[in-house]
Amino acid sequence: MKAVVYKNKNQVAVEEVENPRIEHPSDAVVRVTSAGICGSDLHMYDGRTDISSGTVFGHEIMGVIDDVGQAVVSLKKGDRVVLPFNISCGFCFNCIRGYTNACLTTNPEKPSAAYGYAGMGPYRGGQAEYVRVPFADFNATKLPGEAGDAFEDDFLLLSDVFPTGYHATELAQVGPGKTVAIFGAGPVGLLAAHSAIIKGASEVYVVDRSEERLAIAEKIGAFPVNFEDGSPAEQIITMRKNNKMLVESFKPGEEKMMGVMCGIDAVGYQAHSIKQPDKEDPLSVINELAKVVNFTGHIGIVGVYMPQDPGAVSEQVKKGIYALPFGLIFDKGITIGTGQTPVKKYIEQLKHLIIAGKAKPGMIVSQHTAIEDAPRAYTMFDFRGIGDGEEYTKVIINP
């Protein structure tokens, strides 16, 4: 079968590899109909991890059950399914507490496994015609309809970026009537905004510098903030101060809360500098969050920070050390939630929102591509489409 294979830094190829098969009675094999390219695939593509040549990429996967092992009871050939990117057992100490992002069974190296990802266990990715699914009863979510139906993109995004955007809102304790600042208008940031609005947030601000992406944020119902216009924290505070109704609703002293209650980092360690947007400044987002989040507020961080990063801008950051404005964070009594998403925790309720027509994550998809054209899609996505006249926000491979 055909698969997208990592070759070297900034190079992937489509190659013929052996078809996957049932290796364990709990396995299934899925014929892939859609597979997303994720921003975190670019971390590997850009050589920021130690992935080996030959790895099949792809952890955003949906398709149709092609075969099941003898132990599988809830799935049968032909079922349409989406796969949470976390590969998890469902029965270890972490999985039973809902932390399928830290499964203790599926990866001997560390508590966490995924399809086709550096350090995440010996699993082939799904940017391919077929993929093997371990513990299939637990790791495949049943979908309605036929392969290629209208909801194909919406459902695919249940594998990672929609739950990850939603998880960010959970970590940041977003709820009805809350105010939210989201840094990054990539797929995760946009779907964090979508999630925040679904949850009834009263004000949602999205920060980026791509006008195309900010236009999507606005369409979702958020206020766009372009960081090329100056400190996003200051911009948001000014916007709120200019909201006459809001300011008049304050009792004396409440004007000390002109920032927001919830802050989300959907960017991570590859953040651009605010002042010199073409430079990488891994702290720029957290610095602004510490300014814009109010006393007693909450920050959710789903943009990735790495324990080691050989390609980092400084010796400190290479070792995973980040110089945070922690004095200010402590003074404000802010909480910080971090880490990978336990997709399984959210996937059913998000699926129901899609079925009910209340969530439409697929609107962020910008391109579809045949598997043969995946290498070009990686190149374009890596450059965000610059020079092509097209914004590459989210690319889906349809094998």
- Comparison of 205 and 381: residue with beta carbon closer to its own copies: 205
Decide: helix, strand or coil at residue 260: strand
Closest CA to 222 of 282, 269, 264, 250: 264
73 or 370: whose CB is closer to its own copies?
Answer: 73
- State whether residue 358 is helix, strand or coil: coil
CB of 65 to its own copies, least distance (A): 12
User: Cα 232–242–184 angle (5° rounding)?
Assistant: 25
129 vs 160, beta carbon nearer its own copies:
160
Residue 170 neighbours by CB distance under 10 Å: 20
Q: How far is the CB of 188 from its own copies (least distance, A)?
A: 14
Reported as type and span, the H/E element at residue 40 is helix 39-45
Residue (132 or 395) nearer to its own copies, CB: 132
Nearer to its own copies, 299 or 374 (CB): 299
Which CB sits closer to its own copies, 134 or 399? Answer: 134
CB atoms within 10 A of CB 228: 12
364 close to 394: Cβ distance less than 8 angstroms: yes
Task: Report how far residue 266's alpha carbon sits from residue 356's, in angstroms, rounded to the nearest whole number.
Answer: 27
Measured from the CB of residue 392, what is the shortest distance to its own copies in angstroms? 26
* 277 neighbors 228 (Cβ within 8 angstroms): yes
Burial degree of 74 (CB within 10 A; 0-12, 13-18, 19+) = exposed
How far, in Å, CA of 286 to CA of 295, rounded?
Answer: 15
Smallest distance, its own copies to C-beta of residue 366, A: 25
Cα–Cα dist 63/132, whole Å:
12
Which is closer to its own copies, CB of 100 or CB of 235?
A: 100
The structure tokens listed for 57 are 């990429």
Distance of closest approach, residue 115 Cβ to its own copies, in angstroms:
18
Residue 193 and residue 206: Cα distance in Å, rounded?
7
Q: CB 190 → its own copies: shortest distance, Å?
A: 17
